[in-house]
Chains A and B, each alone.
Chain A
Amino acid sequence: MRNHITGNEAVVLAAIDAGAKLMFGYPITPATEILEGWIKYANESKKVGYIQTEDEIAAGFCVNGAVLAGKIAFTASAGPGHILLQDSLSMAENMRLPYVAIVMQRGGPSTGTVNFSQQEVNLAAFGGNGDGYRVVYSASSVRELYDLTYKSFQTAWKYRFPTILLGDGYLAKMSTDLAIPRKNKTVSATKIFDTEHPVNLRNCFSTEESFGEYLSDHEAAWRKFAPKIAESEKFFVDESKYLIVAHGLVAAAAKETIVKYGKTDHIGLFRPITLNPFDQVALRDAVVGKKKIFVIESAKNQLSHIVKYALSGLKIEIIEISKPAQGFTSEEIITKIRKHNG
């Protein structure tokens, strides 16, 4: 009998392997199993802690508190809970706290569906008030949920930007029998509150000028580190004439399309792994010589406006194929592309 692992379980394993010590969460489909899995591990190993908080607002702020002590901490949520995380994320953006959140996208707005969507991209990448910076990864497989969860902790603690990993309900609940190589090194974490040299941290400023200066420091850090963080994958890009741009599980379906029809229909895939910072340099390079770009997402105009911004100034036809909160099969993708190509 093969050992199966679900997406949510992979997240828990990665958090453990990264050296996370605390999880704060609230039950919400389709991320609840992350909280439950963590609690099971906590009770069995007695090495880590958790709180099931009164809501996601508290969960996010508990993360902000825990990281001050140099302890790796995270939360996991979805949909309406993701909205509630924006308050704590904003604080983490302003104060450069190593906050990690795993978000399993579901259909919104409001309660919506509990299953699947790619509709939380805007919220994840740009949901704060003010010009804050946060890193957003998008996983396209169960294995990537493990790898990118681990990477989220690394990125957050190394570069001090709050980091979100986006998955979705299908990825969260699907199980795979593929073995996932485990990491055997924990992420290094340092204290922000030092007893020998106390710090006074605030996020409220009296004058616009002093705040502007403070924000300029953040911007400088982002400019410096963004090129190191931005990541993407090219799948049969060089030999193609038509380029699909898709992320997450939709990209996985697109890969299947390319495996079947790539040669006949000359299509390749550019898959952003980070949605923010977006790997603009790589995309601008990938579109050279391409006849058309197809941006495919299970949302309306969320990935596509990031793509269009990244490609601004270039003369290239961009076609948006969107199905808010509904997935694509590989057959559907090729049908739609062929329809556009006549």
Chain B
Amino acid sequence: MTKKILFVGEGGQGIQTIAKTIAHAADSHYQHSSYIPSFGVEQRGTPSIAFVIVSDEEIHYPRFETADILVILQPRGLNVVEQYIDKSTQIIFDSSIMEPSLFAKYRSDISAIPATAIAHHIGNPRVFNVVVTAVVARMIEIDRIETWKAIVLLLGSKLKDNSLLKQNEDAYHSGWQFELEKSKFSPADFQPETRNIIKKGYGKKAIIMPAKCKGCNICISKCPVRALSSSTTLNAFSTFIPEIDLEKCVACGNCTQFCPDNAISVTKE
């Protein structure tokens, strides 16, 4: 029995962690496993792709032509991994950020989990990759406890905080017991905002551009009066744009000046 699994998402979403975890824990059910990332020069901002093979036979070559399972967690990566899809591919996607219609043309079996929405509900969007790990592990029948051990090993110091540990545990549990959606898909509510957000008031005008914002939070940290804070609106990079309280804002210009992406401006009107 061999399963070829392709993971694709956004750089920074934790795709490699999911893939590595699956490869590590696979020996609970398979003789061999391999993992290889597909990487380019950028650390962020381009699709993050990983190839995992689990098999009872020896694995010689870590990449493949067609994926048995495609786990896709960001729509941007779809055109890069299209070449690995055929109608035998089982596609698993995050229904809280992608519409099922994206996959209609492949005639493949599709199922979904609203992983981003679940993680949001737990209170930490970053645990979404643990939700997905649980889903994939269960799907290929590797051991629940072994997989959790692999997660703990790979996330290491990131789990030292007790509240973080609890959130990850909740995420894992949610993912493991989730009944994958086959038809009635959750609404894709966690789509990135694409239009500029313009806010006026208190003699000021603020423009925030989700198409450019990377959610680095420099603007928030540079604001002397705490007029800026993180919102729940996603940008194109799967992080959160800031939101502004124009009453507190003093139009000092710090946010405009220090934004590395020229994604925010506040001016006096």
Instruction: Give the interface SS of chain B, mostly helix, strand, loop or mixed.
Output: loop
Give A201 Cβ to nearest chain B Cβ, in Å: 16
Most A CB within 10 A of own CB, among B40, B41, B42: B40
Contacts of B46 in A (CB 8 A): 206
5 more A-B residue pairs beyond the given contacts A204-B41, A206-B42, A206-B46, with a C-beta to C-beta distance below 8 A: A205-B40, A206-B40, A206-B41, A207-B40, A207-B80
Distance, CA A207 to CA B81, complexed state (A): 12
Q: Which residues of B contact A204 (CB under 8 A)?
A: 41
CA distance A207 to B48 in the complex (A): 12
Please, which residue of chain B has its CB at the minimum distance from the CB of A210?
A: B40
Tell me the minimal C-beta distance from B63 to chain A in angstroms. Answer: 10
Q: Is the interface of A mostly helix, strand, loop or mixed?
A: loop
Counting chain A residues whose Cβ lies within 8 A of the other chain, the interface size class is under 10
Give 8 CB contacts A-B under 8 Å: A204-B41, A205-B40, A206-B40, A206-B41, A206-B42, A206-B46, A207-B40, A207-B80
A208 nearest in chain B by CB position: B38
| Complex-state Cα separation, A207 to B8, whole angstroms | 14
Q: In the complex, A206 Cα to B40 Cα: how many Å?
A: 4
Query: Beta-carbon contacts of A191-216 to B below 8 Å, as 1s and 0s?
Result: 00000000000001111000000000
Q: Give 1 or 0 for each of A237-274: 1 = CB within 8 Å of chain B CB.
A: 00000000000000000000000000000000000000
Distance of A204 Cα from B42 Cα, bound (Å): 11
In the assembled complex, the Cα of A204 lies from the Cα of B46 at a distance in Å of 15
Cα A204 to Cα B80 in complex, Å, equals 18
Residue of A204, A205, A207 contacting most chain B CB atoms (<10 Å): A207
How long is the Cα–Cα vector from A205 to B42 in the complex, in angstroms?
Answer: 10
Q: List residues of chain A with CB within 8 A of the CB of B41.
A: 204, 206
- Residue of A whose beta carbon sits closest to that of B80: A207
A-contacting residues, B65-116, CB 8 Å: 80
As a 0/1 sequence over residues 37 to 72 of chain B, the CB contacts with chain A under 8 angstroms (1 = contact) are: 000111000100000000000000000000000000
Q: How far is the CB of B62 from chain A (nearest CB, A)?
A: 14
User: Scoring B residues 4 to 38 as 1 if CB is less than 8 Å from chain A, else 0, what string do you get?
Assistant: 00000000000000000000000000000000000
Nearest CB of B to A316, in Å = 39
